[in-house]
């Protein structure tokens, strides 16, 4: 019984670490060196969103099909992508995720 607690605490630590990673924040982008693509170039990334957040359907009241709307929801959107909740049923290629984070953090250019 004396030594029973240590492995339990270790397991708990690993579990907390794993949960922490799953709910991750977006990686911080260095805007001085990053290639920043404008909204007009991010069609492939937003295509993962607009079927549910667009002109005909706006889940959670969020639509992302115009530049203005996308800017309004930019930081919430990048957090949802980073923590893995959006898109819910698909996995975006990492390069598109990076394009999205870069756009959201480096001035959301058109």
- List interacting residues with ligand HEC (CB under 6 A): 48-49, 51-53, 59-60, 62, 73, 76-77, 80-81, 85-89
Buried b (16+ CB within 10 A) or exposed e, 47-67: ebbbebbbeeeeeeebbbeee
**Of 101, 98, 49, 50, the residue nearest 75 (C-alpha):** 101
Task: Give the nearer residue to ligand HEC in terms of CB position, either 51 or 66.
Answer: 51
Q: What is the largest CA-CA distance in the chain?
A: 63
Task: Give the nearer residue to ligand HEC in terms of CB position, either 30 or 59.
Answer: 59
CB of 109 to ligand HEC, least distance (A): 17
CB of 85 to ligand HEC, least distance (A): 6
**Of 82, 76, 78, the residue nearest 22 (C-alpha):** 82
CB of 88 to ligand HEC, least distance (A): 5
Task: Give the nearer residue to ligand HEC in terms of CB position, either 13 or 38.
Answer: 38
Q: Which residue of this chain has its Cβ atom nearest to ligand HEC in the complex?
A: 49
Task: Give the nearer residue to ligand HEC in terms of CB position, either 77 or 102.
Answer: 77
Instruction: Report CA-CA distances (Å) from 67 to 16, 109, 110.
Output: 38, 9, 7
């Amino acid at each position: 019984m004396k030594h029973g607690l240590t492995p339990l605490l270790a397991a708990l630590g690993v579990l907390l670490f794993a949960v922490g990673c799953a709910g991750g924040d977006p990686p911080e982008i260095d805007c001085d060196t990053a290639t920043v693509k404008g909204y007009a170039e991010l069609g492939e990334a937003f295509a993962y969103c607009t079927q549910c957040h667009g002109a005909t359907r706006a889940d959670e009241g969020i639509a992302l099909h115009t530049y203005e709307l996308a800017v309004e929801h930019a930081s919430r959107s990048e957090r949802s992508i980073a923590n893995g909740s959006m898109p819910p049923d698909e996995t975006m290629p990492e390069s598109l995720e990076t394009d999205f984070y870069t756009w959201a953090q480096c001035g959301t250019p058109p």
